[in-house]
Amino acid sequence: MSLQALEQDVLGQVEAAADEAALESVRVAALGKKGSVSERMKGLGAMDPEQRKEAGAALNLLKDKVADAIAHRKAALQEAALEARLASEKIDVTLPARPEPRGTIHPVSQVWEEVVQIFGDLGFAVAEGPHIEDDFHNFTALNIPPEHPARQEHDTFYFNEKPDGSRMLLRTHTSPVQIRTMLTAKPPIRIIAPGRTYRCDSDMTHTPMFNQIEGLAIDETTHLGHLKWVLAEFCKAFFEVDDVKMRFRASHFPFTEPSMEVDINCSWEGGQVKIGQGSSWLEILGSGMVHPNVMKAGGIDPEKYQGFAFGMGLDRLAMLKYGIPDLRAFFEADLRWLRHYGFKALQVPTLPGGLS
């Protein structure tokens, strides 16, 4: 068989190979040790140098051609095989992924972080105090002596009397943290104190436990104008509005003087409250300049130092901002509620990223 005929024969077989196995047989039959091309290579040794040079070059050319053709055919076969496999591997992408439970953060926790972001930026640290308080921290030190009518208004939860006649109580507000802070820190003081508070009261809008946030700033110069500014800036930042109208009303609290209550403007549409628009007023907090008697109880000289305090409802802030209608549901651990009003684990409020 002429070299040309061999070439045609082998290349024809390569092209005809139906799969990689057949192709491998062709390769062995041509280029294997006893293959048709290899056998001819062996014949080169018997030729004279001139002949050998010429025939050798031709054989090498053939060998390369065959190898190339096999590689080419192999790639084509692999590609076809992959295509065939892929075509058989179709899945229904509409099938659900493996179930993973979605966790949530409670709105009170979320708002806790939001409030800390805002006041933290103004240099207010977060202070805490015990929930089971004594009479001194909850009342007396806050300028509420035993006979004061405010004690009755507070609907206090008490524990049983001790042998010495004293009895502990559940703090009715976060204000005792003011006293605990003053007794341990030196001015300048800037703190907020978010936490649980308790009153024996329960109806549509009251629960026996609720969350408050206290604020306290004491130094030598802070006055009512600063208080107004801080509250206004807080409201804008918290409710994420450019402007909010505020109404500052004189009021009375035993532990502040002068005292003021603060209303913000809002609208009520379809039962949903919108802050910063509309002509209704909504009371959101009580505040004032720390009463000199409170400063004295906290071991701070009211002639040298002065400052403000404020308190507002953390749950109420959450209700207003996120349109949550019922306070009682906050504490019922109803999964439907937790999942609906809760926040995602990675939805961390930050000032640069936004608070909601």
Partner 1 sequence: MKFTLSWLKDHLETSASLDEIVQGLIGVGLEVEDVDDKTKLLAPFKVAYVQEASKHPNADKLRLCKVETEQGVIQAVCGAPNARTGMKGIVALPGAYIPGTKITLEKGMIRGQESQGMLCSERELMISQEHDGIIEVAGDWPIGTPAVTALGLDDPMIYVKVTPNRPDALGVRGIARDLAAKGLGKLKPLDAKPVPGTFNSPVRVSLDFPGGDTKPCPLFVGRYFKGLKNGPSPEWLKRRLKAIGLRPISALVDITNYITFSYGRPLHVFDAAKVTGNIRARMAKEGEQIVALDGKTYQLTSEMTVIADDENAEAIAGIIGGEASSCSEATTEVFLEAAYFDSLRTAATGRKLGIASDARYRFERGVDPEFTQTGAEIATRLILELCGGEASHPVVAGAVPDTARSYMLRASRVKALGGADIPLAEQVGILTDLGFGVKETKDGLSCAVPSWRPDVHSETDLVEEVCRIYGLDNIPFAEMTRDHPIARPVLNPLQKRMIAARRILASRGMNEAVTWSFIPEAQARLFGGGQPELKLANPISSELTDMRPSLLPNLIAAAGRNMARGFADLALSEVGHAYAGDRPQDETLRAVGIRRGQAVARNWQGGARAVDALDAKADALAVLEAAGAPVATMQIVAGAPAWYHPGRSGTIQMGPQNRLAHFGEIHPRVLAAMDVKGPVVGFEVVLNAVPASKSKSATRAALNASDLMPVSRDFAFVVNDDVEAEKLVKAAKSADRALIADVAVFDLFKLEGTTKSLAIEVTLQPRDKTLTDEEIEAVSAKIVGAVQKATGGSLRS
Sites for partner 1 among residues 271-330 (CB under 8 A): 289, 291-292, 306, 330
**Of residues 166-225, those binding partner 1 (CB under 8 A):** 167-168, 170, 188, 196, 198, 200-202, 208-209, 211, 217, 221-225
- Cα separation of 68 and 12, whole Å? 13
Nearest to partner 1 of 2, 152 (CB atom): 152
Nearest to partner 1 of 3, 224 (CB atom): 224
Q: Please enumerate in sequence order all residues whose Cβ is within 8 A of that of 342, keeping only pairs 6 or more positions apart, or say none.
A: 104, 105, 106, 107
The torsion region of residue 243 among left (phi > 0), alpha (psi -120 to 50) and beta comes to beta
What 3-state class would DSSP assign to 332?
coil
Number of neighbours of residue 209 by Cβ within 10 angstroms: 15
Q: Please enumerate in sequence order all residues whose Cβ is within 8 A of that of 154, keeping only pairs 6 or more positions apart, or say none.
A: 172, 173, 199
CB of 275: closest distance to partner 1 in angstroms?
A: 19
CB of 87: closest distance to partner 1 in angstroms?
A: 23
Looking only at the bridges linking them, the beta strands covering 189-198 and 125-126 are parallel
Q: Report the run of H or E that residue 320 belongs to, with start and end.
A: helix 314-322
Nearest to partner 1 of 13, 293 (CB atom): 293
**Of residues 121-140, those binding partner 1 (CB under 8 A):** 121-126, 128-132
CB of 240: closest distance to partner 1 in angstroms?
A: 19
- Cα separation of 50 and 66, whole Å? 25
**Of residues 49-78, those binding partner 1 (CB under 8 A):** none
Nearest to partner 1 of 7, 114 (CB atom): 114
**What does residue 155 show for φ and ψ, rounded to 5 degrees?**
50, 60
CB of 249: closest distance to partner 1 in angstroms?
A: 6
- Binding-residue pattern over the window 12 to 41 for partner 1, x denoting contact by CB under 8 A: ------------------------------
User: 213: buried, middle or exposed (CB in 10 Å: 19+, 13-18, 0-12)?
Assistant: buried
CB of 323: closest distance to partner 1 in angstroms?
A: 18
Q: Write the DSSP symbol of residue 94.
A: T
107-121 helix and 224-239 helix, angle to the nearest 10 degrees: 130
- Binding-residue pattern over the window 220 to 259 for partner 1, x denoting contact by CB under 8 A: -xxxxxx-xxx-x--------------xxxxxx----xxx
- Cα separation of 29 and 66, whole Å? 11
Tokens linked to 225: 């104008």
Give the one residue of 48, 50, 147, 164 binding partner 1; rule: CB under 8 A: 147
CB of 327: closest distance to partner 1 in angstroms?
A: 12
CB of 329: closest distance to partner 1 in angstroms?
A: 11
Applying CB under 8 A, what is the total number of residues that bind partner 1?
91
Confirm or reject binding of residue 161 to partner 1 (CB under 8 A). Answer: yes
- Cα separation of 266 and 241, whole Å? 11
**Of residues 82-121, those binding partner 1 (CB under 8 A):** 95-96, 98-106, 108-109, 113, 116, 119-121
Nearest to partner 1 of 31, 262 (CB atom): 262
